[in-house]
Each structure stands twice: as C-alpha cells, then as structure tokens.
Amino acid sequence: MASDFSHARRLGAAVSLLALTGSAALAQTAIPAEADADDVIVVRSAPLQLRSEEMVGSVGVVSARQIERDLNGNIADTLDRLPGVNSTYFGPAAGRPIVRGLGADRVRVLINGLGALDASSASPDHAVSAEALGARQIEVLRGPAAIAYGGGAVGGVVNVLDGRIPSERNENLIDGFAYLGATSVDEGAQAAGRVTADFNGLMIQLEGLKREGDDFDIPGFAETEALREDHHHEDEDHDDGEDHHDEEEPAHGSVPDSDYTFETYSGAVSLVRDWGFIGLSVKETDAEYGLPGHDHAHEEEHDHEEGEDDHDEDHDDHAHEGEEAPRLVLDQTRIDLRGELNRDALFNRVRWSFAHAHYTHAELEEGEIGTLFRKNGFEGRIEVGHDHGGDRQGAWGIQALTQDFSAEGDESYIEPVTTQDWGAFVTERWDNGDWGLEGGLRVESRELSGQRATRSFDTVSGSGSVFVRPREDWFLAATLSRTERAPTDAEVFADGPHAATRAYERGSLDLDTEVAWSGELTARYSGARVSAEGNVFYADYDGFIGLFPTGEEEEGFDVFEYRQADTALYGFEAQLTAALGAVRGWAFSGEASLDYVRGTVDDGGDLPRIPPLSSNIALIAERGVWSVRGEAHLVADQDETAAFETETDGYAMFNADLEVTPFADRDVRVILGVRNITDEEGRVHTSFLKDQVPLPGRNVRIAVRTSF
C-alpha cells in the first residue's frame, strides 16, 4: 500500500499540472479544428435549452463517441472520469452513480427524462437498468438544473439519452451502427447494434446489446489484510482442537462470483414530421450476475462467542465449504411513449414522456429463489416551453409517478409499499447579455402506503441564480437553493436483515421531510485555447435522513435505523482542457480535473462512504487517423470516516488508449486500450464491498465500431 505521503505528493503533482497545463496552453498558438457534433453541446436534460457553457451550475456531458472510447462496464464506472461522480461499485455488474457524495434516492438516474423504474436505489447490489453503450448522450446535472426532476434529486441527475425512439429523419433509407469489443481482465465481450429504417418519416428501429464477463482478475487478495487477519482469528477462536471444517483459503488473483451477463433488446416505431415526432418503444432487459463478497453464511449460523469483537458494516464472514454463492437474476420489460410538438405560439415547444415498467429480480440461494423483488411502475411527464430567440425562455411542467414495490423471502427487509408522487415545476431565465437571472420552483406530493401505515408528504423546492459575463469568454454564476426531499419507502418501512449493506435495517414511521439550504459558485472560461471551470458548493441539511447504528444486534446483524440529523456537505470541482500546440504534425492537448467533498454531522463525526479527494490528468495526441490518450487517475486516502466504517488507502492508476479511424470514406473506429497499466490495487471507498472487492487489475481492451 502506498503511504499517505506518496499519495499527497501525487495529488500535489496533479494540482501543479493543472496550473502548468494552463500556463503552457496560454503560451501556444491555437490549433484549428473542424467543428463536429461533439463541439456543439446542447444540454437536453435541463428544461431550458442551453449550451453547456451557458448553464448555471455544474453539468457534465458525455457524447456517444466518448462513451465508446471510455466504456468500462456499467454506467457508473463508465462515468468515473467526470469530476464529482463516483460509483457504489458492487462489483462490475452493479454500480450506481454517486454525485458529490450523495447517492441512492438523492441522485435520480433517468432514461430520456423519466426514472429507470428499477430497484437500484433501494440496494447497492441491484443493477441499474440503463446501459451506457448505445446511448446517444449521457448528461450529469448538478445544482439548480436538477430541481426540475424533484427535490429528491438534491445530489444531481444522471440522464441517459438512449435514442431508442427516433426523433429525427435518417440521412439514408437505412442507418445504424455496430459495435464489438473484448476485455482481458474478465475474458469479457461486448456487442451492440442498431438499425433504423426511414420510410418517408415513418421510422422503424431495432436494437440489441449484450455484455458479459467471467470473474475478473486482481493483483493480490480480494480481502484486505486486516479482514484476512480478522477471519484468521475467528477460525482460531472457533477451533476447539477438533477439525470441524477445512479452513478456506482467501481469494487471490481473481474475485469469485464477479461474473455477469446483461442483454437488452428493443424495438421502436415513430413518426417524424416538421412539427415534431411521436413514437413508441418496447425494451426488454435480462441480466444474471454473481454477488461478490455477498456471503449469506452469517445469516444461517451465528455461533459467535461471547466477547467476540463486532465487525463494522463493511466486513463479512467466510463462506462455508460447499455452499453455492448467491446470484441475482434480473428482468425488466419497459414501454415508452415519447413525443415533441413544435408550434408557433406563446409556448412553442411541448414535450411528453410516459413509461411503464414491470421489473423483477430474484436472488438465488443454492439455485433456489431466496428473495424475490418486484416493482411495477408508471411515470409520466409533460413539459411546455417558450423560447423565441429573445432574452427570455422558460419551461413549465407536471410529472407523476406510481409504483408498487415488494420483497418476498429471506431478505424481505421491506414490506410491500405503494408510492405515489406528483409534482409541478416552473423555471424561467432572463438573459440581458452582460448579466441575467434564473429561477425555478417545484411543488411535490408523495404518499407511501404500506401495511402498517400510510404517510403523506408535501414539499416545496426553489432556486435562484444570478450570472454575469464580465468579459466575452467568462461566465460567473451564484446560486442559492432550498430543497425539500420526502422520505422513501425503505426509509419509512424497512424492517429486516439486508445482507448487501451488512445491516439489519429499521425504518421509521416518524420521519419528516429533509430540508437543505445550499449555495454554489461557478466560474467558467471558454477560450480558443483553454477551457476551464470551477465550482464550489455548500449544503446545510436540516433533518438529513441516514442509516445510523443503534448498538443493538438482531438476527446476527448490527442494527442500523433510519433517523434524522443535521449535517453539512461541501466541496469543489475544477477542470481544465487546453490545446498545447503541435509537434511534428501531432496536435497535443491536455485535460485535468480535481474534486473534493466532505460530509459532516453537526453533533460530531463524518457521514459514511464519502469519496476521497481525487484527480484525473490526461495528455492527448492526434494526427490524421490516430488519436492517443494517456491518463493518470489519482485517489487520496480516506480517513474522514464514520465510526462504523473502515478507512481506505489511496492509489494511482494509469490508463492509455489508441483510437484509429483507418478509412476516409467510412465511419470505422478501432479502439485499443489498457486500464490499470501498473496492476495497482485500488479500493472504492463509496462501496459497501471495499474490504472484500478491489478494482480490476490490468485490463487490455479492443473494440471496433462502425456506422452505416
């Protein structure tokens, strides 16, 4: 493990490189580049149709080409280059985005503006039903823009624009793409394809995707040294001189039960005209994956001796020999209806989206269903906007959600609950050129109906911003927001063992709404040679809802209950992109980012699983058909932890990739990449499995992508 000093030195080097890159860029001449679709970034998730550099607050936009080049398994891991974005990382199959230290229900994962309608926010071992591969664009909204999707999205919004309903005409009768890839670390394979036919504006589209992998390789032991020693002492304590069972060797060189298979198929039909479009799609998602570190032995035997030390929530017991590890089988059928109407009227844009999904996943124990989760949900959204090219634009909308969620079996830690939400929002922007104002207001109502009670919550959230352009290339903004979040079904009605979180979770019928006052400052520079952005944020929570230990034990688990505490989250994000000049025909550019977040409880202590300080530094060289990228991902130690969680060491991972476009007259790209070149051990602090499952070791990837 690297020392604290070495990781501080690495991060110091990252900060220095941020400054040096900017200085070098200012000393070079600009590199002319042809404008393409990636140069004009319109943020489609926000109600106001703005370019990314005009947004109030922080926004990250990842294009389809970037997704394919950076592809790294699930959606959260693929977005890990964005500052302020982390993953819950429950192995390669299950990972949900964490934004600015917040996750679960505080970060909404959307598909074309509507919820994923899965169970990923309820438990970290539940995979997100949205795929990165094949998406047209993924947008991450932080700050006031997220208010249009609910006060619960106080952390942010991750919106996957999957393009599964065609909204534009083809250039040809038949358009499409095909993608094939392979990875060495897990002997994995990825394949995706889309075909869209244009019959005079009647669009028919078929799409398919599959990705799979075996247990992935790691540079050392799966468990940390401290956990291995703990288990060794347990085995000695349980051994009374007789050979009760063979001691199981700790996993080394690979992570058991980390294999996965995901398949997605969809079909769509839409009508595209000058006035807009209307379309319907049906998507089927099937997945099966192992649950690494997800041992249920401790649920069946609890022979702990009196006086034995308690484990923290991140620790787990050994599997008993001969037991088959649990697996998760997921299935979702989703139907979407979307459309847009453009008209010459006061409100010149009308959008509507409706989705219905039937979702199940079964956790298999010894090949039999141990727990079965079901969710049937419907969500709808109608939005009208006005933008006539003047100094004012705005959007008004309504949104409604109803879903039934139930769990049956060994891990039915929550009773059946029906959730009904509705909300209405308005956002307006006035831009005078040199300065402007932006504001938003949302009112919501939530009703949770369980077997024991029915709880109702009414919330009001609002934000106000002022922005100025002191010079042509500068954009400065300040935002003040007040958001209210209603409790979720699990926070109110949970009452049972939850192996994924290593806790007996107990909800509270007495929870009130969570209120947050937050402020954010944004500074953005968009020059010919240098682009830079910095964001500083602070949020003060009145009644933050979290899982806190009670000191009790039930069914072999430490008891954690949902209760409220006053807390604060604060931090910053900085990123820089610079053109560094040309050498022997190669055009060089650099990218650097740095992000930090801290979460504290007013009564003392830290919030759990807060990501540590991290930095990304990249150097890109391009010449003709060649594009080469080298990258360093630096993560600091995290010792600002809650009392019941373990600390993690920092690490440095180095990645490189080569993209080649060999044909001038055909869109064919070949990608060859290596992640974790030095085979470094890294553990994700935001993961419940950080002590059992490290990040993958060295991984060689090859992919081919073509469009037609």
Question: Which residue, among 697, 657, 545, has the nearest Cα to 154 in the 3D structure?
Answer: 545
Q: What is the pTM of this model?
A: 0.87
Which element (helix H / strand E) includes 574? Answer: strand 557-583
Give residue 59's pLDDT band: very low, low, confident or very high (50, 70, 90): confident
pLDDT in tens, 478-492: 999 999 999 999 999
Q: Residue 152: its pLDDT value, please? A: 76
Taking CA atoms, 11 is separated from 4, 7, 8, 680, in Å, by 11, 6, 5, 17
317 has pLDDT over 90: no
Overall residue count recorded for the chain in this entry? 708
Least confident of 39-43, 48-52, 358-362, 549-553: 39-43
pLDDT in tens, 382-399: 999 998 777 899 999 999
530 has pLDDT over 70: yes
pLDDT in tens, 405-444: 999 887 788 999 999 999 999 999 999 999 999 999 999 9
248 has pLDDT over 80: no
Is 326 or 455 the better-scoring residue by pLDDT? 455
> Rounded to 5 degrees, what angle do the CA atoms 576, 577, 578 make?
120
With 0-12 CB in 10 A as exposed, 13-18 as middle and 19+ as buried, what is 160? Answer: buried
Instruction: Tell me whether strands 557-583 and 503-506 are parallel, antiparallel or unpaired.
Output: parallel
Mean pLDDT on 681-693:
96
Give whichever of 27-41, 131-145, 255-269 has the largest mean pLDDT.
255-269
Q: What percent of the chain has pLDDT over 90?
A: 72
Give whichever of 67-71, 245-249, 566-570 has the largest mean pLDDT.
566-570
Distance CA 94, CA 102 (A): 17
| Extents of the domains making up the chain | 4-303+311-414+429-707
Least confident of 73-77, 241-245, 326-330: 241-245
Q: What is the DSSP string of 115-153?
A: E--SSTTT-TTSPPS--STT-SEEEEE-GGGGGGG-GGG
Give residue 236's pLDDT band: very low, low, confident or very high (50, 70, 90): low
Which element (helix H / strand E) includes 282? Answer: strand 276-290
Q: What percent of the chain has pLDDT over 70?
A: 87
Q: What is the DSSP string of 611-656?
A: PPPEEEEEEEEEETTEEEEEEEEEE--B----TTS--B--EEEEEE
Q: Answer whether 402's CB lies under 8 Å from 420's CB.
A: yes
229 has pLDDT over 50: yes
Give residue 22's pLDDT band: very low, low, confident or very high (50, 70, 90): very low
Residue whose pair of structure tokens reads 């373990």 in the numeric block: 646
2 has pLDDT over 90: no
316 has pLDDT over 50: no
242 has pLDDT over 70: no
Mean pLDDT on 51-63:
87
Q: Residue 308: its pLDDT value, please? A: 40
Q: Residue 6: its pLDDT value, please? A: 43
31 has pLDDT over 90: no
298 has pLDDT over 80: no
Mean pLDDT on 77-104:
92
Mean pLDDT on 154-162:
90
Taking CA atoms, 55 is separated from 61, 468, 538, in Å, by 12, 12, 19
Q: What is the mean pLDDT of the chain?
A: 87
Distance CA 168, CA 37 (A): 15
Mean pLDDT on 365-377:
89
Name the token pair of 528: 């010919």
19 has pLDDT over 60: no
Q: What is the DSSP string of 313-374?
A: TT--PPPPTTPPPPEEEEEEEEEEEEEEEE-SSSS-EEEEEEEEEEEEEEEEETTEEEEEEE
C-alpha 509: how far from its chain's center?
Answer: 29
Distance CA 71, CA 675 (A): 11
Q: Residue 21: its pLDDT value, please? A: 35
Q: Answer whether 304's CB lies under 8 Å from 355's CB.
A: no
Which element (helix H / strand E) includes 230? Answer: helix 225-238
> What is the maximum alpha-carbon separation in the chain?
86
10 has pLDDT over 70: no
568 has pLDDT over 90: yes
pLDDT in tens, 607-644: 999 999 999 999 999 999 999 999 999 999 999 999 98
306 has pLDDT over 70: no
Question: Which residue, among 89, 219, 52, has the nearest Cα to 575 in the 3D structure?
Answer: 52
254 has pLDDT over 60: yes
pLDDT in tens, 664-686: 888 999 999 999 999 999 999 99
Report the CATH fold assignment for 4-303+311-414+429-707: Maltoporin; Chain A (2.40.170)
